[in-house]
Every structure is written in structure tokens, then in C-alpha cells.
Amino acid sequence: MVTLMNKLQKIGRFCFDIVYPNRCPCCNEFLVWNEYLCDKCRKKVLIDISELCRKCGKHKKECICASLLKYDEAVAIAYYEDEARNGLLVMKDSRNKNFGIFAGERLGQYVKQNSSWQSCDGIVPVPMDRRSKFLRGYNQAEVIASEMSFVTGIPVMNNCLIKTHGYRVQHTLNAEDRKKNTESFLPMGLDLEGMRIILCDDILTTGNTLSRCAEILKMCGAKTVYAAVAATVRRKREE
Ligand SMILES: [Zn+2]
Ligand SMILES: [Zn+2]
């Protein structure tokens, strides 16, 4: 079913391209219909994954493992800067989903090369709240997850987590609590006993969102939660 949907999407993409030409989401160059990024941007975006801490997914020099994250391992294909940042911002502001599909494909290839990841039971995209999803028209984490699923054959599970707006009165909270209050995730009641899950999101910054979601998935019984993200934020650059 997933495969059929994906094939239909690709046919749709071909037809769509006749009317709206395909462009690189990072530099806005024209592309042929079946490419997601131009050659130049693809080379600039992809990082050496061995630079990342295998557990937290941040650059090794900025490891955040000490903050007791609830996910077990993490990976990203890009740093959230320059072309990759453009690609993800374009995905939020317009309907050009190329960067998400490109990232999902690359993450899927990573999963296939790692037997502990490939043996996972489901891919869970970090949810958006209903209002934001309605306004944008789609959840970018779902775009990445569905392409990962196409590459790996691991099903997407959209029935594990929901995101709601915080319910406490905002003005009684300080700035940090306000931020937390607007990001509240809840389980949807599915039993995940013994399951191995790949959690999927677009950007890894502090790890808080992924950690909170992983914690809920584990409360629902998940044994292992890996995190796959398109881009990881690094503060300092090595020139
Ligand atoms: Zn480009
Ligand atoms: Zn780490």
C-alpha cells in the first residue's frame, strides 16, 4: 500500500512538473522532474555522519548526552545551515517538499545499512498540532517519514502520538515554561510493547522534542527508540 501510494505520488509529481517546473529547494535552480536537489547543493548538504555523536545526533564536540536523553541513538544527514537550512525553510513556507523527500531517501539508506535500525517495527513522525498542520497543509516530518518508509519497507505509524497546544494559562508561566507549555505531546493509547521505533523529525536542536516523544513511546511499551532527523544544529563551525 505504501509502495503504491508512493508510486502514485511520483507519477503525480511528473505531471505536476509539466505545469509547475521543479526547482532545487536550496538554491532555486531549475531541475528535471525526478531530482530533488541540484548536484551542487547535494554535495554541499551531505555530511560525514561519523562527525556526529551516535547517541545524541549532535556534532561530537557539542554532545548533549549528559542531558539524559530518552532516545537511544540518533542520526542526521545534514547540518542545519546554508543550503540545508534553505531547503528546510522553503519546505515550511511553500509546497516544495524536495528537501524532505531527499532527506527521507538518505535516512532510509542509512537505516538499510544498519541492521539494528532496519529491524525496527515502525517509523513515527513527530506530530504537529492540528491547527499548524491545517495551515501548512502537511507535516514536514511525515514527508521525511514516508520517504524513509518507501526506501526501507518499515511502515509509518501515525497513530502513536498527538501534539496539542498547552492548556495552562500562559501569563502565569516564565519564558521557558511557556515554550514547554506550547509543546505538549500525548500518547494515543496504542500498545507498543517490545517494539522498536524510529522517530523522525526535520531539525534536532536541543533534543528536547525528540526526547519527550521517545519518553512517551517508551511509556507505551517501546523497547528502543532511534531518532532520524534531516538536519542537526551545530553552534560552532569548523572551517
Ligand atoms: Zn541547488
Ligand atoms: Zn552525544
Judge whether 86 lies within some domain.
Answer: yes
Q: Are 53 and 206 within 8 A, CB to CB?
A: no
Is 238 part of a structural domain of the chain?
no
84 alpha carbon to ligand 1 midpoint, in Å? 10
Does 116 fall in a domain? Answer: yes
Average pLDDT over residues 129-137: 88
Task: Answer with the residue of higher pLDDT: 146 or 173.
Answer: 146
pTM metric for this prediction: 0.87
| CA–centroid distance, residue 38 to ligand 1 (Å) | 4
- Distance, CA 232 to ligand 2 centroid (Å)? 12
CB-based contact 226:117 (threshold 8 Å): yes
| Residue 237, domain member (yes or no) | no
- The CA 93 to ligand 1 mean position distance, Å, reads 17
Centre of ligand 1 to C-alpha 96, Å, is 13
Of 217 and 235, the one with more pLDDT: 217
- Percent of the chain whose pLDDT exceeds 70: 86
Distance 106 CA to ligand 1 centre (A): 17
Q: Supply the CATH number for residue 202's domain.
A: 3.40.50.2020
Cβ neighbour number for residue 129 with a 10 Å cutoff:
16
Q: Tell me if 239 is assigned to some domain.
A: no
User: Which residues lie at CB < 5 A from ion ligand 1?
Assistant: 24, 26-27, 29, 38, 41
- At 212, the pLDDT band (50, 70, 90 cuts) reads very high
Provide the residue range defining the domain that includes 208: 2-232
Residue of 195, 65, 206 whose CA lies nearest to 124: 195
**pLDDT at site 194:** 97
pLDDT band of residue 93 (cuts 50, 70, 90) is confident
Instruction: State the total domains in the chain.
Output: 1
Q: Give a yes or no: residue 27 inside a domain.
A: yes
The pLDDT, as a whole number, for residue 94 is: 76
